[in-house]
Structure 1
Amino acid sequence: MLTKRGERLWTYEEPLQFFGVEIGRIMSVMKLSSGGLFVQSPARLTPKLRAALADLGEVRFVAPASKLHGHLYMEQYRAAYPDVELLAAPGLPARRSDLRFDQVLGDTPDPRWGMDIDQVVVSGHRWLTEVAYFHRPSRTAILGDIGFHIDEHHPLKTRLVARALRMYRRVSPPIELRATIANEATFRRSIRDVLAWDFDRVIPGHGTIVETGGKSAVIEGYGWLLE
C-alpha cells in the first residue's frame, strides 16, 4: 500500500490515464519531526489507504504540486480529518472554490514543517506555477508536472508518446511545456533554486522514481534550459 523510500518518507502510486495514455501518479507522505504527516499530491482516500496512513501518524497537512496536479481528492481528506490543513498552490483557490484552503504556498515553508521540508515556487510559465518540495531527512526532491520520468517500465504506447514529447528516460517536462514558457529567466532561476537542494532521490509527478543520482538526472533533463 505505502512503500518506504527513505527516512520518514513513503510513496503510494496509482494509475492515471491522460488522453488514453497511462502515465500514473505518485503521492508522497512525509512524517514530520512533530510526528504529524505531510501528504503531497494526495491519492484517492480508500479505506486501505486511510488505515495505512493511520499506522504512520496523524495527517496534518495536505498539499498539491499545482492548480493542475495533486488536488483532485483533497476534499476527501478534509472530510476524513477535521483538523487537517489544506494547502494551496498559487492559482488553486480560484480553481477549487469548493474548498477552504488554510494557506497559499510560497517560497518560504511554514515553521511547522520547515525543519523537514523546503519548498520552491517554480514560476515563469504561461499557465503552470508549481510548488516543488525537498524532504531533507531522505534527501528527496518531489516534483509535479515539471518532472515526468517515463522509462522502459512503462507500456509501449506511453513510451512512444514520451519519445515524441522529448521526455523519454529523462526527468523533464513535455515539449509543449517548454514551448509555453513566458519568462525563461524566471523559470531558469526557479529550476536552479531546486538544484540548490542537496537531493539524491527524485519523486516525479508521473513515472518512475529515481532512487539515486536524481540531481544529475534533473540537470540532464533540463539541459535545454540550463546550457
Structure 2
Amino acid sequence: MLTEFGPDIWLGDGGEVAVLGFRYPTRMAVMRLSGGDLVVWSPVTLTDALRVRVAELGTVAHIIAPNHLHHLALTEWTRAFPNARVHPAPRLRGKRRDIAFAADLGDVAPDAWAGQIDQAVFGGNRITTEVVLFHRASRTVLFTDLIQHFPPGTHPGWRGVVARLDRMEGAVPAVPRKFRLAQTDRDAARAALRRIEGWKAERLVMAHGAPVTRDVAGMLERTFDWL
C-alpha cells in the first residue's frame, strides 16, 4: 500500500527481489504534479490493491526507471496504465526493447515536471548510471541503488559477511563498496553530488533502506566522503 510521506508524495513498499541470493526489499514513490498527474518512481510489483490506490490519487502520466537495474515491474505497469510515458535512465533502452520509451532522463527535467522535480545524472559508474531526483514540494531526494542500508544481521551466513564488507549492511546508510570501485569517472560523480547537495534536501528516500528525515545534508556529506 501507499503511505503519505510529505506534500504530494507517497511511498509504497513492494516484495523482496533476489539477486545472487541476496534479498533486496523494494520501494517506490508516487509524486503528484500541480496539474494532478502522477509520476511513479521505481515502480514495484503492481497488485490490484496498489493499482486501485494509485488511481485514487490521480492519473498515472509518467513512469520513471531511475537506473537500468530497476525495470522488473515496468511491463505490468505499462499494461495497467497504457497512456503513461515511460522515462528510462541511460543504458536501459537497449536492455528493454519491448517497451516504448520516452527520451532518456538527463540533468534537465522534461517540461512535464520542470520546476517541480529536479534530476541529476550520477554517471561514470560501470555498474549503472543512476538518475537522482528531487521532489521540491516535500524537499525529498530519491536515490535508487547508490545509497543502501540493510540493518546489521539482515543476511545470514557468508552473505552477511559479504554484505558487511560491501557496506550495504551496517549501522548507517552507505554507498556499497562495489559502486565505489566501479566509479571510474569521479569528476562526473562530484559534479552530480554538487548538484544534489545544492537542492538542500530535508528528506531522503532510497529503494533499499529506510527513509532518512534528519540531517540529510550531513548524511550525504558523510556518505560520499570517499569522493
Q: What is the TM-score normalised by the length of structure 2?
A: 0.92
Q: Is the 8 A contact 1:118 1:134 kept in 2?
A: yes
Distance in 2 (CA, whole Å) between partners of 1:78 and 1:159 is 36
Query: What RMSD, in angstroms, separates the aligned Cα atoms of the two structures?
Result: 1.7
Measured in 2, the distance between the counterparts of 1:170 and 1:184 equals 23
1-structure distance, mates of 2:191, 2:179: 16
**5+ unaligned residues in a row in structure 2: which ranges?**
none
- Stretches of 4+ aligned residues off by more than 4 angstroms: 158-161
> Would you say the 8 A contact 1:170–1:217 is kept in 2?
no
Paired letter, 2:7: E
Higher helix share: 1
- The Cα offsets for residues 25-76 of structure 1, whole Å up to 9 and x where unpaired, read as 110110111101100001111111101101111101000111112x111121
State which of 207, 211, 214 in structure 2 corresponds to 1:212.
Answer: 214
8 Å CA contact 2:155–2:163 kept in 1: the answer is no
User: Which consecutive unaligned segments of at least 5 residues does structure 1 have?
Assistant: none
3-state SS in 2 of match to 1:112: coil
**Residue type matched to 1:180 in 2?**
A
- The 5 Å alignment of 1:121-136 reads 121-136=121-136
Write out per-residue CA displacement over residues 123-166 of structure 1, whole angstroms, 9 at most, x where no aligned residue: 121241110000000000001111112235x7353765442212
What does 1:67-146 align with in structure 2 at a 5 Å threshold?
Answer: 67-69=68-70, 71-146=71-146
Q: Which moved more, 1:93-102 or 1:212-221?
A: 212-221
| Partner Cα distance (2:161, 2:212) in 1 | 20
* Structure 2 CA distance for partners of 1:129 and 1:150, relative to 1, 3 Å: same
Aligned partner of 1:196: which letter?
G
> Within the alignment, does 1:166 sit opposite 2:167 as a pair?
yes
Do the aligned partners of 2:134 and 2:142 also contact (CA within 8 Å) in 1? Answer: yes
- TM, length-normalised to structure 1: 0.92
On the 8 A contact 1:201/1:215 being kept in 2, the answer is no
Instruction: Single out whichever of 52-61 and 167-176 deviates more from structure 2.
Output: 167-176
The superposition leaves residues 99-128 of structure 1 with CA deviations (integer Å, 9 ceiling, x where unpaired) of: 110221110001211121000111121241
Q: How many residues align?
A: 223
